[in-house]
Every structure is written in structure tokens, then in C-alpha cells.
Amino acid sequence: MKTIDTINFEGKKALIRVDFNVPLDADFNVTDTNRIEAAKPTIIKVLEDGGSAILMSHLGRPKGQKNSDLSLKHICDKVSDIIGVEVKFVEDCIGEEVENATSNLQSGEVLLLENLRFHDEEEKGDETFAKQLSKLGDVYINDAFGTAHRAHASTTIVAKFFPENKCFGYLLAKEIEAIEKVMQTGEKPVLAILGGAKVSSKITIIENILDKVDHLIIGGGMTYTFVKAKGGEVGDSICEDDKMELALDILKQAKEKGVQVHIPVDVLAADDFNNNANTQVLDVDKIPSGWQGLDAGPKTLKNFKDVILASKTILWNGPIGVFEMENFANGTISLGNFIDQATKNGAFSLVGGGDSVAAVKQFGFEDKVSYVSTGGGAMLESLEGKTLPGIAAILE
């Protein structure tokens, strides 16, 4: 893997694709700095070598139109604070003004370009636009895992113009290694925990990982499609009736491949989908009409704990209850605690996918697992076995 450590940046201008698509409040303050902090080690390596850094990113979805609310100038001061170097800003990402700003850049300096998506050529993967970007640097670094599944000009096409001078940044390299650990090189037993609402959104992941894992925990709303398919009563719980046959097929495939599947045996059910609803613990396959399962029950959590603590490599993708409501967050918090314990015992744990990452942040588990992925869609496509265009472009 061609990482940033294979290059000395002395006297070189590094064109770095970062993922600074960060949330802003009404006053344009950055409310979550994780993505900026994640890019810092790559930027610092370039500067410490004696190079300069040209940062390019998108922010939001301006759809090819200039939009001052989505200008990266709003985050410039925050990037400066985090990196510890004053970051210069230029009000476009291609053109004469930008080329002048980059050619005047001295070793140790950092320049942030304006939002790439102010040009619709970025998302179209336009080659001419990518060539204009390529003029700005001597070396191309992709450190944006969150957009590595998109064949955009700045994430994929631009790499063509740096046949010998392209590499992964530290963040992207760590993401690739973490996924490889789960999918290929992880110590056995390997466990995948898949939660979330729908089987349909996880089919390709499940089918791809059945060859890689020893145990599969299924939780969250997906549970009820499996339970109903096996003849259970799920009341008003979320259920994809048209996916029941598929659920049975997944269980059959798992059995053939020697994968042990663990499905909840009891649930915390409610008589309404709100935090203050009446609740009771019920067997997962005996939920009466008017009730719906919203979290894992105590017997289920005991079973899940045993499996998690016996595992050496753990992937967690998706919550196992409606954790956004305090009264139905216990299952997801307990899961986090079990994974924390397993990690302390030497297991490798990877958390990825939007909702599970949100839960990990909300409940303070970020530093208690081995790795939290920064890319939602990119992470899911990796787990589906796809080669991401942004990664392939560096390897070519």
C-alpha cells in the first residue's frame, strides 16, 4: 500500500483531498471537528518534511452553484486552530487566481481551496476539471475515506495525472487496514454485529461477510423480519414482509457455511413509538398486536455479551434498539460496554456506518473501541466487497 510514509515532501506541494464536510451551526461554527482532526497527521507530515499543503474538500450539496452558506472560508479559522498553522484561503479551486496562490505557497504553509462542489464538474468526474486541479500540486494524497466510494474529479480522476506521485494519507490507510482486519486478516473468532431497521439495506453486506465471520448478531428492526419469517408473532414491530424469504435464505446460507447466527430472544416492547410509551419485556416471537419491539431484552443482552466476549475480531454496524429515545437506548449502550470489555481483553473492534457511529459518539465509546470509521457509505460499500474508486485510483 503506497502510504504517505513512502514520500519525502521536502520542497514539494502536496495536493491533499481531505473530507472537511463538517456540520455547521447557524453562526457557521463547526459543531463536530472529528474530520478535521482526523486529517491533521497527514498535513503535519507534509509540513514537517518541508513541504506545503493544498487542501481540497467539498461541503454540503451546493449542486454546482456558488453558495456562501457552504463556503469553506467558514471553517478556515477552525482548521488553523486544530493544525496549529495559519491556513490561507482562496475563493475558488481552479483558475488563474488559484494557480498564483499555490505557486506562491512556501514550505510549511497551508492553503485551503474553495468548495469543490461549487463546480458541477467535480461530481461528474470531469477530466478537464481534474487536470486543472492537478496543476496545483507535485504530489496527490487522498485522505478522504468518506468520499472514496465516489468517482469524483478530486477523489479519483485527478490521480491519473500523478502516475508516480500519489499515495494514501494516514487516515485513509488506517480505514483500509481496519476493514482488511475484519474481512481478511482478523484473529478468529470473527463476529459481525448488524443492526438497524431494514434487512434490505444490509443484504449485500450479509452475503459478503458470511464467508469471513464465525458469528453474526442480528439486532434492531431487522430482527422482526427474521422472527416473522420463522413463524413468530411480531405485533406492530417494523417488518419487511417481502424480505422474509430472503431472511430464511440468509439463515440457510449461514448454516451451510458454519456461521452461528444470534437473533434476540426477548425484547423491550412498547405500545407506541415514543419515549413515554408503556413498556414490557416480551419473548421476541410472542409480541401481541398493538405492541412493537424497540430494544433488546435482558436475556438477549446476556446472550450477546457471551458471544462478544468470546470474539477476537468485532465489526459493529448498526444499533440494536431505538437509541435516540432514552428509554430504548439500554441495548445499544450495553452492546458498547460489552465491546469495550472485549477490546480491553485484546479484541480488535471496528465501528462503522452512520447510526452506530452516532451512537458510539453519543454514549462516549469512541476511545473504547479499536477504530471508528469516518465514512458511512464508503464503509458499507467496502463491507459489501466493492473496490472503492478512490482507493483503486491510488493503487493503479
Residue 396 lies in a domain: no
Residue 395 lies in a domain: no
Domain harbouring 204, CATH code: 3.40.50.1260
Say if residue 50 is in the same domain as residue 167. yes
Say if residue 112 is in the same domain as residue 243. no
Say if residue 72 is in the same domain as residue 167. yes
Buried b / exposed e over 101-138, threshold 16 CB at 10 Å, is bbeebeeebbbbbbbbbbbebbbebbeebbebbbebbb
Say if residue 166 is in the same domain as residue 111. yes
Residue 160 lies in a domain: yes
Residues in binding site = 19-21, 35, 58-61, 117, 150, 202, 293, 324, 353-356
Say if residue 147 is in the same domain as residue 217. no
Quote the cell numbers at residue 27.
453562526
Neighbours of 263 (CB within 10 A): 21
Quote the cell numbers at residue 238.
417494523
Catalytic residue among 12, 17, 35, 181: 35
Residue 247 lies in a domain: yes
Say if residue 152 is in the same domain as residue 228. no
Domain that holds residue 327: 186-383
Cα Rg of the chain, angstroms: 23
Residue 85 lies in a domain: yes
Q: How many CA atoms lie within 13 A of 392 on its CB side?
A: 12
Active site residue 376: no
Active site residue 377: yes
Say if residue 57 is in the same domain as residue 123. yes
Active site residue 51: no
State residue 77 phi and psi, 5-degree precision. -65, -40
Catalytic residue among 198, 230, 305, 312: 198
Catalytic residue among 312, 377, 385, 386: 377
CA distance 391 to 191: 25
Say if residue 209 is in the same domain as residue 109. no
Residue 391 lies in a domain: no
Residue 266 lies in a domain: yes
The side-by-side arrangement of strands in the sheet containing 292-296 is 279-283, 266-270, 292-296
Residues in binding site for (2R)-3-phosphoglycerate = 35, 117, 150
Catalytic residue among 40, 88, 312, 354: 354
3-state secondary structure of 359: helix
Q: Could you say which of 148, 171, 194 is where a domain stops?
A: 171
Q: Could you say which of 107, 137, 171 is where a domain stops?
A: 171
Say if residue 16 is in the same domain as residue 152. yes
Say if residue 333 is in the same domain as residue 201. yes
pLDDT at 354: 64
Say if residue 161 is in the same domain as residue 196. no
Residues in binding site for ATP = 202, 293, 324, 353-356
Active site residue 354: yes
* Number of domains the chain contains: 2
Give me the average pLDDT of each 10-residue run along the chain (396 residues).
Answer: 92 97 95 93 98 98 95 98 98 97 97 98 98 98 93 97 96 92 92 90 89 95 96 97 96 97 98 97 98 98 98 94 96 96 97 84 93 83 88 93
Residues in binding site for substrate = 19-21, 35, 58-61, 117, 150
pLDDT at 375: 77
Say if residue 92 is in the same domain as residue 207. no
Closest CA to 294 of 325, 266, 269: 269
Residue 390 lies in a domain: no
